[in-house]
Amino acid sequence: MKPELILLRFGEFTLKGKNRLRFEQAVIHYTLDVLRDYPGLRYRKAYGRLYLELNGAPYENVAERLKSVFGIQTFSPVLFCGHDLEVIRAAALSVMDGLSRKPKTFKVTVKRTWKEYPYDSQELNGLIGGPVLRHVEGLTVDVHKPEVELRVEIREDGAYLFSDVIKGAGGYPVGSNGKAMLMLSGGIDSPVAGWLAMRKGLDIEAVHFHSYPFTSERAQQKVKDLALQLAKYTRKVKVHMVPFTEIQTRLNQLGQPNLLITLMRRAMFRITEQLAAKHEAGAVVTGESLGQVASQTLPSLNTIGKVAELPILRPLITMDKDDIIRIAHRIGTYETSILPYEDCCTLFAAKSPSTNPNLRVIERIERSASSWLEEEIRLAVEGTETFWFSQLFDTSVMDQHAGGALPTSPEHQETTTAEPQSIDRFF
Ligand code: ATP
Ligand code: MG
């Protein structure tokens, strides 16, 4: 027997009473997009639960995509069958056979909400559990801490059986908490920071600073590849490519090598904030993690962050590198992040950058550069090229600066032409 339904369980947002319906609908809407190439899918709300009816769609493929839908905490394949006891027993064996790992212990939990059924839950436990015990070799019952709990719900319309609980991406539905600009380098950290921010319901637009031709086109491609990977979890990710060569070169000429990274970072924040204003974002997300490098000591973060007016969100601030790497593997960005292309921050890198940059000194240097700095920041914003990446839509360049954007590579163009369908068909 194949699963006909998938039981969806929503994440922490279900706690937020009045927003619950809105968030639920957002997840449903998004799931609909992700699975648009299975037009037979239907949502069914029944007995306070939300099911996805497969109607012939292959469970494995659907499950794979559900794993990247924010807002879905866990899900379970469900067998749905008639009331006949023999059919239910056969379904129970089928659920056990379908488990990814063979358990040593199990228990059956029967919930009988349809009181006209001829057996009560207690009797059913034995009637269903007995054949399972005989069927699976070496299996014993453990009512306290079973490896597997076989759940059987007897409803008026039939029996629902499930056991496997598969972890989803969790969090809040895409875009349900507003929009933020993600400062996206080609490193390990910032894509992870972006993913965590997305999981909190933030719509992300990435900002990348490049110093072409000092940094290569491949370094930019790497950032685009990371954006495409992040786009797996959201409808689309925009990447703003900011030309930073002029600013970086001129800041370097100020002759303050140990303060260069602080000056650069402050310029980056200024530009990011202007882009945020232009694209109506309410925060800036970075991959900074306390103490990781000179620019991420508390005094550095302070001096750099002072330049920003929007809240700076640093999802990794207290995380260990090991944990960050683990997430990078899980979300599929690690392999790209470790490719050896240079980032603009490593250009002109000082041997011993200041770990304690003084705000007043920095502001004085910036004042001395005011004749050109403001103008260069304006030009950088103006010269920014924007790309869209999506695994759902046509990913050709949709919005770009007149100067001509770098083409996205063909593999970015996994397209489908179908229009998003009405949410109504899912109820
Ligand atoms: P990452 O792995 O994200 O590159 P990192 O540990 O290498 O981080 P830094 O290079 O000091 O740390 O950068 C700190 C943060 O500054 C990054 O996480 C990112 O948010 C931002 N950043 C650095 N370089 C760039 C860049 N070229 N474009 C956009 N943002 C950048
Ligand atoms: Mg970096």
341: left (phi over 0), alpha (psi -120 to 50) or beta: beta
Closest residue to atom 30 of ligand 1, CA basis: 183
Please check if 8 is assigned to a binding site: no
**Which helix (H) or strand (E) covers residue 161, if one does?**
strand 158-162
Helix (H, G, I), strand (E, B) or coil at 196: helix
Residue 191 CA, closest ligand 1 atom number: 3
| CA 62 / ligand 2 centre spacing (Å) | 35
In this predicted model, what pLDDT tens digit does every residue of 142-163 receive, in sequence order? Answer: 999 999 999 999 999 999 999 9
> What does the pLDDT read at residue 93?
95
> For position 16, what pLDDT does the model report?
59
Starting from the CA of residue 313, give the closest ligand: 1
| DSSP-derived 3-state class of residue 108 | strand
pTM for the complete prediction?
Answer: 0.84
Ligand 1 atom, smallest distance to 188 CA: 2
> What are 165-178's pLDDT values in tens digits?
899 999 999 888 99
Of 259, 197, 221, the C-alpha closest to 406 is 221
The annotation status of 387 as a binding-site residue, yes or no, is no
For the CA of 337, the nearest atom of ligand 1: 2
Residue 202 CB neighbour total at 10 angstroms:
28
How far apart are the CA of 42 and the centre of ligand 1, in A? 42
**Residue 230 CA neighbour count, 13 Å, CB half:** 34
Q: Compute the average pLDDT of residues 97-126.
A: 91
* 235 has pLDDT over 60: yes
Closest Cα to atom 24 of ligand 1: 185
Share of the chain above pLDDT 70, in %: 89
332-342 confidence digits (pLDDT tens): 999 999 998 77
Atom of ligand 1 nearest to the CA of 286: 20
Q: Read off the amino acid at residue 374.
A: E
Q: Using a 6 Å CB cutoff, which residues line ligand 1?
A: 183-185, 187-190, 207-209, 286-288, 292-293, 295, 343-345
pLDDT averaged over the chain?
Answer: 87
H or E stretch at 262: helix 260-278
Q: What is the pLDDT of residue 424?
A: 29
- Ligand at shortest distance from the CA of 345: 1
- Distance of CA 33 from the midpoint of ligand 1 (Å): 32
pLDDT value, residue 14: 56
CA distance 231 to 219: 19
190 Cα to the center of ligand 1, angstroms:
6
